[in-house]
Amino acid sequence: MNEITAKPVQDYLYSLLPARDEVLSEMEAEAAKHQVPIVGPAVGRVLHQLALMIGARNVFEMGSAIGYSTIWWARAVGDGGNVVYTDGDSKNAEKAKRYFQRAGVHSRVKVHVGDALELLSEQKQEYDIIFNDVDKEDYPRVLRLALPRLRKGGLFVTDNVLWSGKVTQKNPAEASTKAIQEFNRQLYAADGFFTAVLPLRDGISVSIKL
């Protein structure tokens, strides 16, 4: 993935970041070594901040991998808060559970292995935040599922909405790029959301439910 921000600016932003604890640092190293998709520390801080800003207590995360972003959410929701982890890979889930234990957030995280869209569709409650980081071809479907499962004033946050700049292509060949372009158009046009895109890392969209 190519960073959206110019490299000197990107390097400067990352130079400002406080050191992460042992668990997050280890996860970052593992992700780099094994090409595991994680949001990284700059975006992780944004996720944490968003949760703090709206006093989020319940977060539904779609596409959690080894649980890096899950830990940022879980620390933000605090004691008594709840984060739903979802991933289709049981090995990822088992690894994530060990990280949650070491990070001291295991009591705040409910781990589910399976299709994130199916799991979200089964939810009856409203969430403070839904975080979307699933397969990109599924993004338009996620949008339709997310709106009715957020509380008023809740946030729908999506990763990779600039997709290494490929969203600027007029006739993309990749299905993933086409899906993200369609998702972005629908998201900005949605009556129930007010949306902005943060051009950090690979692009993060933040939508508040009206």
In a domain, 1, yes or no: no
Q: Is the pLDDT of residue 139 over 60?
A: yes
Of the candidates 202, 149, 154, 200, the residue with the CA atom closest to the CA atom of residue 177: 202
In a domain, 54, yes or no: yes
CB 200 within 8 A of CB 46: yes
Per-residue pLDDT tens for 8-51?
999 999 999 999 999 999 999 999 999 999 999 999 999 999 99
- The boundaries of the domain holding residue 157 are 7-209
Quote the CA–CA distance of 200 and 41 in Å, as a whole number. 11
Q: Is the pLDDT of residue 193 over 90?
A: yes
pLDDT score, position 102: 98
In a domain, 134, yes or no: yes
Q: Is the pLDDT of residue 99 over 90?
A: yes
Per-residue pLDDT tens for 158-190?
999 999 999 999 999 999 999 999 999 999 999
pLDDT tier at 115 (50, 70, 90 boundaries)? very high
Q: In total, how many domains does the chain have?
A: 1
Q: Is the pLDDT of residue 125 over 70?
A: yes
CATH number of the CATH domain containing 165 = 3.40.50.150
70 CB-near residues (< 8 Å, 6+ apart): 61, 64, 83, 85, 96, 100, 105, 109
Percentage above 70 pLDDT, the chain: 99
CA 28 to chain CA mean position, Å: 16
In a domain, 2, yes or no: no
In a domain, 198, yes or no: yes
pLDDT tier at 151 (50, 70, 90 boundaries)? very high
pLDDT score, position 9: 92
